Amino acid sequence: MFPQFTFLGKTFSTYGICALIGILFALFLPYVILEKQKYNEIRYLFMMLIAMASSLIGSHLLYGIVNYRLLFIVFQNLDQIHTFGEFFNLMKEIFGGSVYYGGLITGILGGFIYLKKTEKNRAPYADMGAVAIPLFHGFGRIGCFLGGCCYGVECSFGFTYQHALIESANGVSRFPVQLVESGLNFMLFGLLLLLYLKKRSRGKLIFLYLIIYPVIRFILEFFRGDTYRGFVGFLSTSQLISLMLLVFSVFSLLFIHRKEKKQAGGVNAETDPNISA
């Protein structure tokens, strides 16, 4: 579609602009909400900045891991690489792309470590982080659609790329899987924001996100036409990660629920005079 555009003599990446818009919304909206609720909004900003830096590293790292075959080829032929510049360019090619799940996992870990070391009441900040993730991702997927860095399967209806970043995407009518995912991300953002404002599932919204989004992603992977993202058998790398995150999050919520129920039972036993030890 429009992978890049020129403005005032300078060329800009459409995906980069969409991602920047998503980042600004993901930072600004929760900032305003937390400020009105008298929480430390600066704490949120630092959490998100650390999460974003961690996410940037993780997304490129997982891309390189997915392309592990190329890594093996490089290290098996080190004797044919004569300068550090050649080696650096090869690494840049192998780790140059990004995988969303790699950034998501390391971003959450980075934000969690920061909160654990700086904040006792972590729930509102973690919950607003969960709200911000699909908001940012929705804009990011619009950028993916415009750039053609990932694309849908061939179908009788949809959009035909002529200038996609990936040459194989061009010239064929394709299902707009990125726009569908973008819309579902915005819907997920609305749901999580509503739960937060109604003070429902406090401290658990990140796990709800990690249950709902993996289901969305697992299904939509069947409608993607790009194959360079890696496969294990008939499932893509993202589908395998989706399954693992889904299982992890379900068990985490069950563990938290059991812990809360046990703590509530202990409080009742201590405060109810009719209950003897």
Q: What is the pLDDT of residues 208-248, one digit of tens each?
A: 999 999 999 999 999 998 876 677 778 888 999 999 999 99
- Burial grade of 117 (CB within 10 A; 0-12, 13-18, 19 or more): exposed
Q: How many domains does the chain have?
A: 1
Give me the amino acid identity at 37. Q
Question: CB–CB of 176/152 below 8 Å?
Answer: yes
Residue 150 placed within a domain:
yes
Q: What is the pLDDT of residue 277?
A: 40
Can you tell me the distance from the alpha carbon of 80 to that of 189, in angstroms, rounded to the nearest whole number?
50
Longest dimension (CA), the chain: 81
Q: Is the pLDDT of residue 81 over 50?
A: yes
pLDDT tens for 49-80 read: 999 999 999 999 988 888 778 888 888 888 88
Residue 106 placed within a domain:
no
Distance of CA 16 to the CA centre of its chain: 16
Residue 76 placed within a domain:
no
150 lies in which domain range?
A: 4-40+119-269
Residue 36 placed within a domain:
yes
Helix (H) or strand (E) holding 12: strand 10-13
